[in-house]
Amino acid sequence: MKTFVMLGGAALALMATPAMAQDGDETDRAGDIQFKLLATAVLPDGKIDQINVNLPGLPATLQTRANDNVTPTIAVEWFVTNNISIETIAGMTQHDVDTTAGLPAGAELVSNAKLIPATLTAKYHFDLGGVKPYVGAGPAYFLWVADDPGAATLPLGVTDTDLSNELGLALQAGFDVPIGDAGFGFSVDVKRYFIDTTARWFVGNTLAIETEHQLDPWVISAGVAYRF
């Protein structure tokens, strides 16, 4: 986390310096739009930080992990100047949450949790000729659009599961490599999110289990880009 915080701080400092607003390119690309089609690996944690409600008497040592997933992602980026851009992403990822301690490993607590990681980052791009690295940072909102009780919770009488939507921070680093002069390119992007969620399991209308989960996923993407 320390490395990404330093990168994010450097990016924001550079953005705040007018003298750095232009690189050495002769062509003014301010106002350009860049689309990216990416294959994205979402690597969450899902670790339990705290158990708030525990009517079934689950072990205090209960620990969990959310599974990894690979999903397509679209990124849209607007260049404010040659060096500074604003980017958002569109995509959905799906995860199960299984136990790693306190119960038999692999016991499913949450099934088919679908997440939209709404993200908006400000990025600073460096010009190194053929490779254009960047760093960025911005807010992220994790919106859970579906989640089901896991198979291991059904014998406890669980009828519904809920994961709370939460606001957090995304730090970002990556690089673009232009291919030819027609606006096409190749892109690699790494984000680290710092977001938690509260998981609740209900038996009818009764809150039976409530846990605080640290998600903090790494999100690694690679794919093609087109800038115009």
- What one-character DSSP code corresponds to residue 25? -
Structure pTM? 0.84
- Domain 2-227 architecture: Beta Barrel (2.40)
- pLDDT, residue 27, reads 61
Rounded-to-integer distance, Cα 125 and Cα 191, Å? 15
Closest CA to 11 of 128, 94, 188, 134: 134
Lay out the sheet containing 47-54: strands in order across.
Answer: 47-54, 206-214, 196-203, 160-163
- pLDDT, residue 129, reads 80
Rounded-to-integer distance, Cα 143 and Cα 165, Å? 5
Q: Return phi, psi of residue 8, to 5°.
A: -65, -40
Measured between alpha carbons, how far is residue 61 from residues 49, 50, 66, 100, 109 in Å?
A: 11, 10, 17, 10, 15
- pLDDT, residue 102, reads 87
Query: What count of other Cβ atoms lies within 10 Å of the Cβ of residue 42?
Result: 24
Q: Return phi, psi of residue 2, to 5°.
A: -60, -45
- pLDDT, residue 79, reads 97
78: tokens are: 């607007």
Q: Return phi, psi of residue 80, to 5°.
A: -70, -40
Strand partners, 120: 88
Max CA separation in the chain (angstroms) = 67
Q: What is the dihedral of CA 46, 50, 56, 58, to 10 degrees?
A: 70
Strand partners, 142: 117, 166
- pLDDT, residue 19, reads 37
Strands (E) located in 2-92: 33-43, 47-54, 63-66, 69-79, 84-90
Residue ranges of domains in the chain: 2-227
Rounded-to-integer distance, Cα 57 and Cα 66, Å? 22
Q: Which residues of the chain have pLDDT under 50?
A: 1-26
Quick one: 58 exposed, middle or buried, by C-beta within 10 A (0-12, 13-18, 19+)?
middle
